[in-house]
Amino acid sequence: MKVVLFCGGLGTRIREYSESVPKPMIPVGHQPILWHVMNYYSQYGHRDFVLCLGYKANVVKEFFLNYKPQAYADCVVSRYGSKVELLSEIKDDWRVSLIDTGIWRNIGQRLWAVREHVADEEMFLANYSDGLTDLNLDEAVEAFKKSGKVGCFVAIRPPLTYHLADIDTDGRVREFRSSDRSDIWINGGYFIFRREIFDYMREGEELVLEPFKRLIEADQLMAFKHEGFWRSMDTLRDRQILEDMVEQGNMPWRLSHDLTDRPAAVVAGE
């Protein structure tokens, strides 16, 4: 399946980095978080990507147009750098369509702008490009197929450290409980859609507002609950947590530790 990745946001909550690079290009370890997201999908065999670009689109394009796998893989260099031998096998190349969908666009507008690129897909995947997970994607896709519905989002527990208070109308406290014991679920930013999703969309609408409301009214939206690892990179603290995990070799979003995937085939578009 094709994977649509939303890469055009301003990343205002992590401005210290996003003033110079778009949020998906902020590094986690040696690679941008976008690379980690793409590698996650490629581990499940999905290697055809449609990138919805916007803010600092040129930075994303330059990354893929100038990508050199030897910069991130074990290699032998000789002849003063003119000869490079990779010591590990290169996996199948990614196919990356780079589509400029504008700067001041919401997620729904970006998806609408690339609808022609997924028009022939019975189903396709989509992602905010700023979160990592150990979700078993095959299980989520299979559950979605069986449901027959048009849209699916991965629901996760909110990563809160607060204690939730159950308070009566007279101020009496019924219970205090940690957030992980609550029955609160939020959108994790991982989506699966059938191509009929565009029948529920209108140009200019935010994806999870009006279109999702129509899906709910038509009983065409499902949630796949995920209790495992998930973390988005919204703040500098989030980035530092992910950075520490990479440094410690603790990367639950990786099915393997082969870092030699490389995106070679690029289709540029405006």
pTM, rounded to two decimals? 0.85
DSSP class per residue in the chain: -EEEEEE----GGGHHHHTTS-GGGSEETTEEHHHHHHHHHHHTT--EEEEEE-TTHHHHHHHHHT--GGGTS-EEEEGGGTEEEESS---PPEEEEEEE--SS--HHHHHHHTGGGGTT-SEEEEE-SSEEE---HHHHHHHHHHHT-SEEEEEE-----PEEEEE-TTS-EEEEEEGGGS---EEEEEEEEEGGGGGG--TT--TTTHHHHHHHHTT-EEEEEE-S-EEE--SHHHHHHHHHHHHTT--TT-SS------EEEEEEE-
More confident position, 79 or 142: 142
Of the two residues 188 and 176, the one the predictor is more confident about is 188
Question: Using an 8 Å Cβ cutoff, are 105 and 114 in contact?
Answer: no
The average pLDDT across 30-54 equals 95
| pLDDT band at residue 260 under the 50/70/90 scheme | very low
Which residues, other chains included, contact 161 with Cβ-Cβ below 8 Å and sequence gap of 6+? 179
Compute the average pLDDT of residues 98-112: 94
End-to-end Cα separation, the chain, in angstroms = 22
Please check whether residue 52 is in contact with residue 110, taking contact to mean a CB–CB distance below 8 angstroms: yes
Per-residue pLDDT at 32: 93
Predicted pLDDT at 184: 84
Closest among 5, 186, 224, 216 to 107, alpha carbons compared: 5
Checking if the pLDDT of 88 tops 50, the result is yes
pLDDT at 11 > cutoff 70? no
User: 13-27, 32-46, 149-163: which range is least confident on average?
Assistant: 13-27
Q: What confidence score (pLDDT) does residue 220 get? A: 98
- What lies within 8 Å, CB to CB, of 146 at 6+ separation is none
- Assigned token pair, 241: 């947590």
pLDDT exceeds cutoff 80 at 91: no
Is pLDDT above 50 for 259?
A: no
The average confidence (pLDDT) of the chain is: 87
Of all residues in the chain, the percent with pLDDT exceeding 90 is 63
Residue range 77-90: mean pLDDT, rounded: 76
60 pLDDT above the threshold of 90: yes
What is the reported pLDDT for 175? 83
Give the lowest-confidence range in 9-23, 70-84, 128-142, 203-217.
9-23
And the tokens for 177? 């409980």
